[in-house]
Amino acid sequence: MGLFALADLHLAQAVDKPMDVFGPEWDHHAERIREAWCASVDDHDVVLIPGDISWAMTLDEALPDLKWIGDLPGIKVMIRGNHDYWWSGIGKVRRALALNHYAIQNDALAAGGWALCGTRGWVLPSHPKFTEEDEVIYLREANRLKLSLEAARKLQLPMVAMMHYPPCSHPEEQTLFTELLSAYGVKLCVYGHLHGPAHRFAVEGEYGGVTYRLVSADYVGFKPVRLL
**Residue 42 confidence (pLDDT):** 97
Listed in sequence order, the residues at least 6 apart from 172 whose beta carbon sits closer than 8 Å to its beta carbon are none
What is the count of structural domains for the chain? 1
**Residue 64 confidence (pLDDT):** 97
Residue 228 within a domain? no
Residue 79 within a domain? yes
- Element (DSSP H or E) covering residue 111: strand 109-111
Residue 225 within a domain? no
**Residue 16 confidence (pLDDT):** 83
End-to-end Cα, the chain, rounded Å: 12
How far apart, in whole angstroms, are the C-alpha atoms of residue 45 and residue 43? 6
Residue by residue, pLDDT tens for the chain (228 residues) are: 899 999 999 999 998 887 876 788 999 999 999 999 999 999 999 999 999 999 999 999 999 999 999 999 999 999 999 999 999 899 999 999 999 999 999 999 999 999 999 999 999 999 999 999 999 999 999 999 999 999 999 999 999 999 999 999 999 999 999 999 999 999 999 999 999 999 999 999 999 999 999 999 999 999 999 998
Q: Are strands 205-207 and 210-214 parallel, antiparallel or unpaired?
A: antiparallel
Residue 224 within a domain? no
How far apart, in whole angstroms, are the C-alpha atoms of residue 63 and residue 175? 35
CA 173 vs. chain centroid, Å, equals 21
Write out pLDDT tens, residues 152-164. Answer: 999 999 999 999 9
Residue 152 within a domain? yes
Instruction: Return the exposure string of 159-184: e unless at least 16 CB atoms fall within 10 Å of the residue's CB, then b.
Output: bbbbbbbbbbbeeebebbbbebbeeb
How far apart, in whole angstroms, are the C-alpha atoms of residue 157 and residue 111? 10
Q: Which domain holds residue 49?
A: 3-218
Residue 132 within a domain? yes
Residue 141 within a domain? yes
- Tell me the sheet residues that pair with 86: none
**Residue 21 confidence (pLDDT):** 62
Residue 158 within a domain? yes
In this structure, what CATH number is given to the domain that contains residue 20? 3.60.21.10
Would you report the helix, strand and coil content of the chain in percent, each value rounded to 5?
30, 20, 45
